[in-house]
Amino acid sequence: MMTQNFYFQRWITNGFIILSLMFLMFVPVRAQNANRTVNITDQTNLAAIRTLINDAIVAVNNLGGGTVTVTGVHVCTAPISEPVNIPSGVTVLWKADLSSDVPANYVLCLSGEGVFEVTDEGIETGTSVRIANFALSAMYVQRAIFVEAGSTVTVKVSGGTVSTLHKGIAISSGANVEVSGGTVSAGGNTSSAISGRTNITISGTGRVEAQATAINTSGTITVNGGTIIGSFAVQNSLTVAQNVTLTIPQEYTLAVREKATVNNYGTIVNNGTIANSGIIVNNGTITNNKVINIDNGKIVGGNVLAGEHNIYLNINYSF
């Protein structure tokens, strides 16, 4: 009997060990610490920063994905042409302060299918007289963040600042851009805060502002909150969510292009100009304190409060 108990206990012990080993075999590699932190302060140039970040991304991706956090402070002294490649499953959290005093087409170029999120500090370009003079004398556009053509990197701004001055674009992308906090800004009368064939979502405390054009996209624009200061054109669609107020500031224009649609479920307050050649489907309220110019367009449904100001109408309109 004692021998039988010995073998039974041994069988139980061996079975437990085998099951434990099998469990460990099926534990995802990401159970290891796949996350990495990169500090850019001591790097000599932007090319070295790109290599440092890409090496960290490769390491994280080899472990099944995760997060690369970028910290530190760096002033660019030379441009680079190669992108930071972010594969699917990898997120780069940007908490560094990167600024550029170098005439170049962009500060940071991104490629891949992952996520790039600015959470603190930020990326700034065109901050000096040197950049200003170059912008005035050359046919080029300076970009703070540029998503390479064909890439689907999602750019998120939840804090910090992404900005450009003079002749530039803060974020240039053909993929998705989400601004839920922080500021995306552009100075100069030929600059855009966000531009490209991109789908843009603004929410929370996100702020998109420009001296000229806040948004220039052929994609969709969804406003779930936040603030837009500057003119912008709707070439595809604009959606204003319920309980959200979109204000068109004085001296700025919301242009609704032909075949474009604005779906308003909240409130649009016009202190500037609404130039409508498309369709505004108004399920909320439009308060007009300045000018609405309907040129072969429509405003359908809802309340349009004109106050003491004018609504100029052309043919093919309805209320």
Averaged confidence pLDDT in the chain: 80
Compute the average pLDDT of residues 160-174. Answer: 85
Query: Which residue type occupies 199?
Result: N
Residues in Cβ contact with 284 at an 8 Å cutoff, skipping those fewer than 6 apart: 240, 242, 264, 265, 266, 267, 268, 302, 303
Expressed in angstroms, the distance from the first to the final Cα of the chain is 94
Burial of 74 (0-12, 13-18, 19+ CB in 10 A): buried
Same domain, 56 and 196: yes
Query: For 222-250, how does the pLDDT look when each residue is reduced to its tens digit (9 = 90+)?
Result: 999 999 999 888 899 999 999 999 999 88
Domain carrying residue 7: 1-31
Q: Is 286 left (phi over 0), alpha (psi -120 to 50) or beta?
A: beta
The CA distances from residue 259 to 128, 276, 278, 280, in Å, are 41, 10, 5, 11
- Do both 175 and 263 map to the same domain? no
Residues 154, 174 within the same domain? yes
Residue 98: its pLDDT value, please? 86
Average pLDDT of span 80-107? 85
Last residue of a domain, one of 210, 227, 244: 227
The 10s digit of each residue's pLDDT in 48-61 is: 889 999 999 999 99
C-beta separation of 157 from 120 below 8 A: no
Residue type, 114: G
Residue 118: what pLDDT? 95
Least trusted range by pLDDT, from 10-19, 200-209, 215-224: 10-19
* pLDDT more than 70, % of the chain: 76
Question: Both 56 and 144 in a single domain?
Answer: yes
Asked if 165 and 211 sit in the same domain, the reply is yes
Domain total in the chain:
3
At 87 the three-state DSSP class reads: coil
Q: Considering 199, 227, 255, which residue would you say is the last residue of a domain?
A: 227
Cβ neighbours of 79 (radius 10 Å): 16
Distances (CA, A) of 279 to 7, 50, 170: 82, 45, 29
- Secondary structure (DSSP) of 101-166: -S-SSEEEEEEESSEEEE-SSEEEE--SHHHHHHHHHSS--EEEEEEPTT--PEEEEEEEEEEE-S
pLDDT of residue 318: 39
Per-residue pLDDT band at 265 (split at 50, 70, 90) = very high
Q: Tell me which of 227, 249, 266 is where a domain ends.
A: 227
Which tens digits make up the pLDDT trace of 11-38? 455 555 555 545 445 444 444 568 999 9
pLDDT tens digits, one per residue of 109-149: 899 999 999 998 888 876 544 434 444 444 455 788 999 99
293 and 280 within one domain: yes
Let me know: does 268 contact 286? Beta carbons within 8 Å.
Answer: yes
Q: What are phi and psi of 77, to 5 degrees?
A: -120, -10
Q: Are residues 276 and 223 in the same domain?
A: no
pLDDT score for 319: 38
